[in-house]
Amino acid sequence: MQTLEHLEIYTKSETIRVSALHALAYCPRLFYLEEVEELYTQDAAVFAGRRLHTELEKQEDEEWEELFLESEELGLRGRLDALRTRDGQTIPYEHKRGRCYRDENNQPQAWESDRLQILAYAYLLESAQGITVKEGRIRYHADNVLVHVPVDDAGRVAVREAIQQARVLRLSTHRPPVIDNERLCARCSLAPVCLPEEARLAHDREWQAIRLFPEDDERQIIHVLEPGTCVGRTGEQIKITRRNQPVETVPARQVGQLVLHSFSQISTQALHFCADQDIGVHFISGGGRYLGSFDTRQGSIQRRIRQYTALSNPDFCLELACKLVVCRGQGQRKFLMRGTRGKAKAEKLEKAIAQMKAVLKQVPQAKSLESLLGLEGNLAALYFGALPCLISPEVLKELHFGGRNRRPPKDRFNALLSFGYALLLKDVMNSILIVGLEAALGFYHQPRSQAAPLALDLLEIFRVPLVDMTVMASVNRGQWDVKADFEIRGTQVWLSEFGRRKFVELYENRKQESWKHPVTGYSLTYRRLFELEVRLLEKEWCGEGGLFGHLVLR
């Protein structure tokens, strides 16, 4: 019998993991996400299962054998939890952290996915070792029950059929639909990727969605703002070395993103470590311009194939672009409307609001991206023309706003907007990379600059709530020092290092505020809404559309 040390693993691409058949029996969509799209998550249940196996491996049991097996004939490979001999019979064992299934007579039974898994191990053992296995056993540790699973011809047929189904799915470019048994979704670690509740809601707007999408990512976003700072790795920690300051270390599990501003540096070892720990790494120039992100995606090619197929259709792109322009335009208009509350109505403000309403009615009738660009330009001109009306009269004239100018910014208000949009673009890119889409392939913006088109598309949804409102509120509250927070270079105005630090704090605090999604009906922080909106966009070309582009101020 071959052991873990001596077993040679052959071409894995030609065989299917037994654990993948377990996922297939649980939910074909779960199998597809893991085996075809190569998407995995690690929740508390996954870590608990690993701890169980670690504890079992430490037990002193002479009969305990753990081994890898592979059969090219079956097209199957797997790692047995344990192999024992009873009365001359070889018996494979599986250990499960949870409870067993109870039939109508309250008799303990194996769950169907667990049953298929132990049958597959038994069949694999027979094929690889040339022996006959009469039964497999599953230990459910939560209720300390041992379930015996007979191995017969019907079980072998079930395994072969599952292998064939798995092979068909591996060749498919279409993700299977969400299963009917919603209770399984509540226990699935890939629910935040699959979004089963949102898929059901897309097909039935009366559906009362249960929030399976995680409420928040509590990991830190570390902004390295000081020029000359070096970021490295020490053990399982991120090490930050600033000039003339003590070395700072942060456990990697507590870090979600590293944002390197100006001339800060990161070592190759730290980059590899961040990739392994799913830590986003992003770069922003000293002038506050988004430069790029470290792309660590592996796999997900099927997702990008579907994206390319969908976004190669001009009509589909125009449909999505119209949703985007309406979303941003409505958000801008409602932000302006907030400026009329409790104040004497400003004629310029009221006129812009009315004109924007008229332009927005024309957006759904746009016949081309070119005509849509014209409508969007009109909306932007009306919005930025009226935005100064929201600035309090008590605000210093140096912080007033005379109209949008981009790079280089020519006044302090524009400097704040530009830096905010750079941070926002970074967060949108981070979510695109997490989801696994191709940022270079958008549906509205065209490739014409360093920024990726899809990121520029999604940026539009969050401009008003995360940047425009944050900037306006901070200006009206007198939170900016016109000298200390800004640097004047001829006609150019930039945030100083102190000003950037202050803006980062305001922006990150804003992202922790919650917003009730107008379609799903549940609340999430803005920080989580980035990823959710990217996943809802992907659903637009996966047959589960209708939820994207609805984040509009009330």
pLDDT at 50 over 60: no
Q: Is 330 exposed, middle or buried (0-12, 13-18, 19+ CB in 10 A)?
A: buried
- Among 254, 284, 314, give the residue marking a domain's end: 284
Same domain, 62 and 138: yes
- How far is the C-alpha of 100 from the C-alpha of 106, rounded, in Å? 11
- Among 284, 316, 331, give the residue marking a domain's end: 284
* pLDDT in the model for residue 340: 74
pLDDT at 200 over 60: yes
pLDDT > 70 in the chain, percent: 91
Q: Is residue 463 part of a domain?
A: yes
User: What's the predicted TM-score (pTM) here?
Assistant: 0.86
pLDDT at 48 over 80: no
At 157-174, the pLDDT tens digits run: 999 999 999 999 998 888
pLDDT at 69 over 80: yes
Q: How confident is the model at residue 479 (pLDDT cuts 50, 70, 90)?
A: very high
Q: Is residue 470 part of a domain?
A: yes
Same domain, 410 and 496: yes
Q: 80 with 66: CB under 8 angstroms? A: yes
At 345-370, the pLDDT tens digits run: 678 899 999 999 999 999 999 999 99
- How far is the C-alpha of 400 from the C-alpha of 315, rounded, in Å? 41
Length of the chain, in residues: 554
Q: How confident is the model at residue 10 (pLDDT cuts 50, 70, 90)?
A: very low
Could you tell me whether strands 101-102 and 89-96 are parallel, antiparallel, or unpaired per DSSP bridges?
Answer: unpaired
- How far is the C-alpha of 212 from the C-alpha of 184, rounded, in Å? 12
Nearest 10 degrees: CA dihedral of 57, 58, 60, 65? 20
Q: How confident is the model at residue 44 (pLDDT cuts 50, 70, 90)?
A: very low
Same domain, 531 and 382: yes
Query: Residue 3 corresponds to which tokens in the numbers above?
Result: 């052991």
- Output the CA angle 343-348-352, nearest 5 degrees: 105
Same domain, 93 and 130: yes
pLDDT at 45 over 70: no
At 269-311, the pLDDT tens digits run: 999 999 999 999 999 998 888 999 998 877 678 889 899 999 9
| pLDDT average, residue stretch 180-189 | 89
- Please state the domain count of the chain: 3
Mean pLDDT of all residues in the chain? Answer: 88
* pLDDT in the model for residue 448: 66
| pLDDT average, residue stretch 8-13 | 40
| CATH code of the domain in which 254 resides | 3.100.10.20
Q: Is residue 187 part of a domain?
A: yes
Same domain, 250 and 305: no
| CATH code of the domain in which 76 resides | 3.90.320.10
Q: Is residue 291 part of a domain?
A: no
Same domain, 482 and 515: yes
Q: Identify residue 32 by its one-letter amino acid code.
A: Y
Same domain, 522 and 471: yes
Q: Is residue 548 part of a domain?
A: no
| pLDDT average, residue stretch 440-460 | 88
Residues spanned by the domain of 379: 301-539
* pLDDT in the model for residue 38: 84
pLDDT at 420 over 70: yes
| CATH code of the domain in which 418 resides | 1.20.120.920
Same domain, 259 and 404: no
Nearest 10 degrees: CA dihedral of 186, 189, 192, 196? -40
> Taking the mean position of all CA atoms in its chain, how far away is CA 304?
15
